[in-house]
Amino acid sequence: MLTDLQQQPADALLALIKLHNADPRADKIDLGVGVYKTAEGGTPVFRSIKAAERKLAAEQDTKAYLGPEGDMGFVTALMPYIFGKDSPDMGGRIEGMQTPGGTGSLRLALGMVKRAGYKRVIVGKPSWPNHNQICADLGLGVAEFNHAKADGTTDMDALRGAIASAEEGDAILLHGCCHNPTGIDYSHAEWDEIAGLLANSKLLPIIDLAYQGLGMGMEEDAYGLRRVLVAVPEALIAYSCDKNFGLYRDRVGALYAMVADPADLTKVMSNGHSLARANWSQPPDHGAAAVRLVLEDAALTADWLAELDEMRDRMRQVRAKLAAAGKTGGVDLSPIGGQNGLFSIIPFTPEQVQAMRSEYGIYFAGSGRINVAGLTMGNIDQFIAAVADVTA
């Protein structure tokens, strides 16, 4: 029977990693893998995490199971940063659970959506490819709207139309900040409007907050999420610590549910627990425990926030340098300066993407998505010159 399985296409990003690794050129540039990189090109372990791990190694006295909800100290410690310090549980209406990374939280959120009877998820296009893949695997329909216009601004008309045409049984998935793959975020004024539109709809919002702190700051990056939650009765929030704590391989995330009536939380979270049990049973402990220890220690928290400041500042410098290049060959790099997070899309043709790889050893996704953190002050001029050449 196993021989009846159909060959599946290789993941494009994983294939890209292999191509880059096999390239013998010393000056090759990797702009494909979605991880933060320093000015020296490394992806370090945070200082604050290292300190927390030392404490964990010294003080942890068991490796016993946690249960499907995971480390609830970790889940609770994150809430003031996500939902605000004044009322992090929205008056008893929000509860969460630990998941294996942001992907785990999204899988759980969409599984709960499916179980609750929703039929379709409205998703901006382009979006993170796994959004649609998870929906397809769960048998959820997907309706797409254009997220951004060619000039590098959000397509609010498309979003308004998608919300207005939503049907009973629809949910909507929105990026909370640092849009992947475009880097084009909604402004505060646009989030204000979105919150009002959702308040007057029957849509269930699913907010994917995977990059908090990498855009404008921890508070600023939570603005849209908090505006929506004030306006609507119910929502699901998929959260990742893989990026803003540098815990990529430890897979640290959380799912939060907000309900209209606090009395419903136990029932809602019981479904999250049962779905988790059927998927991964219980989440890994180490990374979440390290995050909890960071957030329980004022000095470590301050160091973590300082590290985020350093990351944002470096990416802002790269974006400013790209934007200053302006019209480069046949593309305009200036909009990149106003975008947020790790990613931006440059409108390369497939032939130009291939030329960047073969002629210059510069690797990025076929969509034109680049990881701006892969650029440094040492290689950015090389990149700009290559762009000018292949798009001329």
Tens-digit pLDDT profile for residues 17-75: 889 999 999 999 999 988 999 999 899 999 999 999 999 999 999 999 999 999 999 99
The ranges of the chain annotated as CATH 3.90.1150.10 are 11-45+300-387
Catalytic residue set: 128, 208, 243
pLDDT band at 126; cut points 50, 70, 90: very high
Reported pTM: 0.95
Do residues 229 and 195 lie in contact, with contact meaning Cβ atoms separated by under 8 Å? no
The ranges of the chain annotated as CATH 3.40.640.10 are 65-296
pLDDT band at 10; cut points 50, 70, 90: confident
Given a cut of 90, whether residue 8 has pLDDT beyond it is: no
Facing residues of 369 across strands? 345
pLDDT band at 16; cut points 50, 70, 90: confident
Long-range contacts of 308-316 (CB under 8 A, 24+ apart): 308/213, 308/214, 308/218, 308/244, 311/36, 311/214, 311/373, 312/213, 312/214, 312/215, 312/216, 312/217, 314/38, 314/39, 314/373, 315/36, 315/214, 315/341, 315/342, 315/372, 315/373
Topology of domain 65-296, CATH: Aspartate Aminotransferase; domain 2 (3.40.640)
> Other CB atoms closer than 10 Å to residue 223's CB: what's the count?
20
Classify 11-45+300-387 by CATH class: alpha beta
| Mean pLDDT of the region 257-285 | 96
